[in-house]
Structure 1
Amino acid sequence: MSGFSEFIAFAVTARHGSFARAARELGITASTVAKRILRLEERLGVRLFHRTTRQVTLTSDGEMLYARCEKVLADIDDIESLASGTSGEPRGQLRINMPITYGKRVVMPKLARLLAQHPGLELDVRLSDSFCDLIRDGIDAAIRVGALDDTRLTARRIDWQHLVLCGSPAYLRRQGMPTHADQLEAHHFVVFRNPTSGRERPVQLQVDGKTQELHPETRVVINDGEGMVEAARHDAGLTQVPRVMAEDAIANGSLVEVLPACAPPPQPISLIWPGNRLLPARMRLLIETLAGLG
């Protein structure tokens, strides 16, 4: 295919945001990478990168091309993996997107053991509480919490998320320990702002067998779960977070669980991946590894 090496140089540079890092991955010089991209820009008649002395960033035309290139290159990589034999040693890079705290505390230990057992694997982990578009961004797999509505994706449940409502002992001594959901209206709250939608997440409760949402007057709004835990530990108010975020603080007594009988039903945590992709050995291994989390 004419100019295929130019597209590869472009895609790798876009992924790293650097001619030098792209050159190291491709085993060529940075000047060769730059020349290939320049030839591609001249042939297409568009500028693909904004260039400065420190970095290169994609133009709007570059972003559209990069999304297509990553999908094509990922498909080629999948075909190569399958052609090498389905029973062969898993190799190549896995690009994974996952929530920050759950990813660090629960998933990363599993992935680290996976790397130790399979030296041919590489990981590109994106920790973020914002949703990404797997197909547009060239992501192999992502971990999502809650219901899934993208029909382009295949999902497998790997765990459950349990929410816990809690506050510090000093705050609860000052404001009083709630014994019924109706008493929560008198309390201050530290709530989560969804970084994708910008909306505040309501407090979820289960009362008399029915799930309810409470939209309290908030004292602190934070877009990071661990930050919410820290604010609550320092007496800023009640907060509701996934149990994995608060379990250490509850265990050491710096947070106290509130109204455990009103905890909402757990939400599924799923591993998702593009449904129209061939599954190379490394993806099958990832699915098998994470399937046992819950």
Structure 2
Amino acid sequence: MHGLQQYVAFAETARHGSFAAAARALGTVPSTLAKAVARLETELGVRLFHRTTRQVTLTPDGERLYAHCQRLLAEVEELQAQAAGTRSEPSGTLRVDLPIFYGKHVVMPVLARLVQRHPALRLDVRLHDAYVDLVQEGIDLAVRVGRLDDSSLVARRIDQQRLVLCASPAYLAARGAPSDAAALAAHAAIAFRMPSSGRHRPWQFLDNGQAVEMPPPNVVARINDGEGMVEAARLGLGLCQVPDYMAAAALARGDLVELLPGCRPEPLPISVVVPGGKLLPARVRVAVDALSAARAEPPAQTG
């Protein structure tokens, strides 16, 4: 194996976690792949795998190379398809990074329908609320909430997130409903603990058209999960401010009541993002189009 094939040997071995499994996938023998990877390590001057008798695991250098290899091999496949005069049927593994609640309840149904339409497509979905480096992690597509500062990403707006302040009917019967933002100081709060800093996320409002923030008053519970906050509010612990889609079901059932709806802050954009400066494989292109078409908000291109 030479040139690109050495990278194929490396990428398949990394994907399967052993030379034997990768060899079965490629229709060759483990020793051939092991030699190809060893030559690549010699050429690059780095160690790509930690090797044991049962498996191989990526070194930090190997992890970085694997992230780039996934994108490189996908682009080669797409170029081959275009050179043949065809737009390839979406296939292969679509690697997606999603915020937890929105990913589970909004994006996953769209991706499930996509796989049903394109049986050769596979999903690798990562659910968490922290931002990751798409290129470094080998991610094809991510969904992000908020305004984007990374100019290396290509983004398309697909939705928006509104924050709502809620409490249970039982809590309001016992404590009364606040008439304005100033009255919140007398109420118990359920605060969101931000994963990056461990601090409470400020509550946000509009006051006479101006954006204002305030720390949650009288915090009785701090929770690092939006669904947990909604449940705590439903149980009467206090007021919480969460994205509207997290509280929608509880509000519809009457388990929660929205407070100060006229003071809602401006909504935040929700965007699907892909790394810039690259050819989009068919699997990524159809996913972006499907997410754009599925949401009610008209998509808008941003930088």
TM-score range, shorter chain: 0.7 to 0.9
The whole-number CA distance in structure 2 between the counterparts of 1:46 and 1:88 is: 35
1:205 aligns with 2:205: yes
Q: How far did 1:162 drift?
A: 1.4
Structure 1 stretches of 5 or more lacking a match?
Answer: none
Q: Which residue of 1 aligns with 2:234?
A: 233
TM-score of the aligned structures, taking structure 1 as reference length: 0.86
2-side partners of 1:215 and 1:27: how far apart? Answer: 60
Of 164-173 and 178-187, deviating more is: 164-173
Question: 1: distance between equivalents of 2:88 and 2:46?
Answer: 42
CA-CA distance at 1:235 after TM superposition? 2.3
Q: In structure 2, how many angstroms separate the alpha carbons of the residues matched to 1:54 and 1:243?
A: 48
Cα contact 2:48–2:58 (8 A) shared by 1: yes
Instruction: Give the match for residue 254 of structure 2.
Output: 253
Q: 2:147: which partner in 1?
A: 147
Report the equivalent of 1:194.
194
Q: Structure 1 residues 21-30 or 222-231, which shifts more?
A: 21-30
The answer to whether the Cα contact below 8 Å between 1:169 and 1:255 also exists between their aligned partners in 2 is yes
Report what 1:91 is aligned to: 91
Which whole-Å deviations, capped at 9, do the CAs of 1:263-290 have from their partners, x for residues lacking one?
1111111111112111233332222211
1:156 alignment counterpart: 156
> Match for 1:112: what amino acid?
A
CA contact (8 A) 1:190 1:238 kept: yes
Instruction: State the superposition RMSD in angstroms.
Output: 2.8
Find the counterpart in structure 2 of residue 278 from structure 1: 279
Deviation at 1:26, TM superposition (A): 3.9
1:218-238 Cα distance to aligned partner (Å, 9 max, x none): 332222221221222222321
Deviation at 1:77, TM superposition (A): 3.1
Q: Which moved more, 1:71-80 or 1:263-272?
A: 71-80
Which whole-Å CA distance do the structure 2 matches of 1:197 and 1:84 have between them? 51
When structure 1 is superposed on structure 2, of 93-102 and 37-46 the one drifting more is: 37-46
2:184 and 2:234 mapped to 1: Cα distance? 18
Report the counterpart of residue 109 of structure 2 in structure 1: 109
- 8 Å contact 1:194–1:200 — kept in the other structure? yes
Instruction: Give the paired residue count.
Output: 294
In the alignment, what sits opposite 2:66? 66
CA distance in 2, matches of 1:21, 1:239: 49
Query: Which position in structure 2 is the counterpart of 1:266?
Result: 267
Identical columns (%): 57
The one-letter code of the counterpart of 1:257 is E
Q: Whole-Å Cα distance in 2 between the matches of residues 204 and 25 of structure 1?
A: 52
How far off is 1:45 after superposition? 5.0
